[in-house]
Amino acid sequence: MQSNTADKVRSALSRRGRWSLGEIAFWLVAAGTLFFLPERHLILNEIAIIGLFALSLDLILGYAGIVSLGHAAFFGLGAYAAGILARNGVGDPLVGLGVAAIAAAILGFATSFLVLRGSDLTKLMVTLGVALVLGELANKMSWLTGGADGLQGISMGPILGLFEFDIFGTVAYTYSLVVTFVLFVLARRIVVSPYGLSLRSIHDNPLRARAVGIPVNRRLVTIYTLAAAYAGVAGALLAQTTQFVSLDVLAFHRSADVMLVLVIGGVGYLYSGLIGAVVFKVLQDVLSAWTPQYWQFWIGLILVLIVLAGRERLTDRIRALWPRSRRSLAADSPQPLQTTTAREV
């Protein structure tokens, strides 16, 4: 009996891990923009970075149920870590990514124990407080961060010693897209694994998850640390591709914007951050060109309409356009786990 159940679980996980035609088409279209939209590579680079940043937030919000209003703390720390490293002569982009990921992961691990305490409101205040403290430290430590003037003098070397950053943003966008894809593949593998299923059971009912033997706190600390590292990499990408870091990377609106991206794309669905980043950045670009003074009003109005129309119904209709990929994509959405699945995990 146990053997049959284990075989069913392995079979289900194998099905969840398969790439659908819709997913492959999504990434082929993304790769196609490298060749068919050369004049838009600068804004596409921003979209790739925002998408990775939103993906990092979705890992803790959509899959673990940890709310955060200070996710910019990890984004900003990663940006400053990579920027300071490059300014001091270590201009290898990949080394900068590694250092940024480690620095953000350490901060995430150190603050995760505070975040796990209390209610959702407490978590909101703690995460927001961490970001505000880091922002003030960056402002005061101008000898290291540049303060209000920003971190200048960043000089990046060629990627893998071969590809120099160009003024048109082609190399920068290719670099950001490849890094985002690699980290997305890793995140996708995580959420369809037994570990990912245990996160969903914690999201749905932490008391039941603890009762069936899932180490809830350990799981939450791990995913929070991983999400922090992802956000740090996103910040490092911004610092490396723009070769400038300002206090803006730690500002509250960074956390608010990435939350808005997830609201637009949907929470608990790995592609939501990527799709939401595209929609948000395109709307921002179009509306700011149309009405520079009131573009935020129109984005706010669109957000209200999305909430009133029901974001879940909209995303269900979008998924219905990809019939063959629906089962695979549904595996990435937060659905109540069956009791047997939770017990097996």
Residues near 36 by Cβ (< 8 Å), separated by ≥ 6?
none
Instruction: Report the run of H or E that residue 177 belongs to, with start and end.
Output: helix 170-191
The reported pLDDT for the residue numbered 289 is: 80
Averaged over 274-288, what is the pLDDT?
A: 87
Give the burial class of 27: count Cβ atoms within 10 A of its Cβ; 0-12 exposed, 13-18 middle, 19 or more buried: middle
Give the model's confidence band at 282: pLDDT under 50 very low, under 70 low, under 90 confident, else very high.
confident
Q: In the chain, what are the domains?
A: 2-344 (1.10.3470)
Residues near 70 by Cβ (< 8 Å), separated by ≥ 6?
126, 127, 128, 129, 130, 131, 132, 255
- Tell me the HSE value of 93 on the side-chain side, using a 13 A CA sphere: 24
The reported pLDDT for the residue numbered 6 is: 58
The reported pLDDT for the residue numbered 17 is: 66
Radius of gyration of the chain measured on its C-alpha atoms: 20
Angstrom distance (rounded) from CA 64 to CA 195: 11
The reported pLDDT for the residue numbered 14 is: 65
Report pLDDT digits (tens) over 105-121: 999 999 988 887 767 77
Give the model's confidence band at 315: pLDDT under 50 very low, under 70 low, under 90 confident, else very high.
low
The reported pLDDT for the residue numbered 333 is: 45
Report pLDDT digits (tens) over 10-43: 666 666 667 888 889 999 999 999 998 888 899 9
Say which residue, 252 or 300, is predicted with more confidence. Answer: 252
Angstrom distance (rounded) from CA 109 to CA 1: 40
DSSP classification of residue 169: S
CA 196 to chain centre: 16
Average pLDDT, the chain: 83
Lowest mean pLDDT among 13-17, 127-131, 225-229: 13-17
Averaged over 79-89, what is the pLDDT?
A: 91
The reported pLDDT for the residue numbered 272 is: 84
CA 29 to chain centre: 20
Name the token pair of 149: 């003037």
Report pLDDT digits (tens) over 321-339: 444 444 444 444 444 444 3
Residue 345 has pLDDT above 80, yes or no: no
Averaged over 175-199, what is the pLDDT?
A: 92
Angstrom distance (rounded) from CA 105 to CA 285: 32
Question: Would you call 85 helix, strand, or coil by DSSP?
Answer: helix
- Neighbour count for residue 189 (Cβ, 10 Å): 12
pTM for the model = 0.85
**Dihedral over Cα of 95, 98, 101, 104: its sign:** negative
